[in-house]
Amino acid sequence: MRLILVGPPGAGKGTQAVHLAQHYSIPHISTGDIFRANLKEGTPLGLQAKGYMDKGELVPDSVTNAMVKDRLTHADTANGFLLDGFPRNVAQAEVLRAVLAEKKTPIDAALELSIENAEIIKRLSSRRTCRGCGKVFPGQLDKCDSCGGELYQRDDDKEEVIARRLEVYAEQTAPIIAFYRTEGLLITIPAVGEVSEITGSAIRALSQKLS
């Protein structure tokens, strides 16, 4: 299964990606997580990305495309992958299509998580992320229930940055929905309700699409 998750910030892409990657036994590749891991390590890539992420802007395509192209050469992607947060504009979608066409391994589906802005703002302003393992939580817990790590609020989950991320999504990322619809790859599901119910409807929609 070669799957793309599309949806605005806070739609639950990362949350669903964990369950879907486990279900299909494929690696979960989140460009946001890769940037944050690089930042934690203090690499030049992380420091370069931080300036954009903190403002809610996209990291330049030249940097992001090279990073994803490299990740897709790793052996664990041979039987598929789940991309979370990439592509994020039509130019990235075109690069991905070209890279996969060369390998004769096209995308199977682009799964859009649909959600209203009011719910997004509620989710992102209360989200906490584990410093240790990166797991996300919907509320203000004391520590991570998986690794015991400290929980923190992402710098880009501040109110003014959330507003800019939503604008960037509408202006630059939403057009990829039409792109994948035209390609005949788009599936849209509502992203509100219990996490397990959303995972279930994603799996049902995917098996219907791919049957």
Which positions touch ligand AP5 (CB under 6 A)?
7, 9-15, 31-32, 35, 52-53, 56-59, 64, 85-86, 88, 92, 123, 127, 136-138, 156, 165, 193, 195, 198
Closest separation between CB of residue 65 and ligand AP5, Å?
A: 8
Nearest-CB residue to ligand AP5? 32
Task: Determine whether 13 is an active site residue.
Answer: yes
Q: CB nearer to ligand AP5: give 64 or 210.
A: 64
Taking the complex as a whole, the smallest distance from the CB of residue 211 to ligand AP5 amounts, in Å, to 26
Query: Residue 165 Cβ, how far from ligand AP5 at the closest point, in Å?
Result: 5
CB of 10: closest distance to ligand AP5 in angstroms?
4
Q: Judge whether 36 counts as a catalytic residue.
A: no
| Residue 127 annotated among the catalytic residues of the structure | yes
Identify the active-site residue in 2, 36, 88, 128: 88
Q: Among residues 50, 135, 154, 164, which one is catalytic?
A: 154
Nearer to ligand AP5, 112 or 156 (CB): 156
| Nearer of residues 82 and 186 to ligand AP5, judged by Cβ | 82
Phi/psi at 138 (nearest 5 deg)? -80, -10
**HEC secondary structure over the chain:** CEEEEECCCCCCHHHHHHHHHHHHCCCEEEHHHHHHHHHHHCCHHHHHHHHHHCCCCCCCHHHHHHHHHHHCCCHHHCCCEEEECCCCCHHHHHHHHHHHHHHCCCCCEEEEEECCHHHHHHHHHHCEEECCCCCEECCCCCECCCCCCEEECCHHHCHHHHHHHHHHHHHHHCHHHHHHHHCCCEEEEECCCCHHHHHHHHHHHHHHHHC
Candidates 5, 32, 35; CA nearest to 20 is 5
Residue among 2 and 13 whose Cβ is closer to ligand AP5:
13
Q: Please give the positions annotated as active site.
A: 13, 88, 127, 154, 165
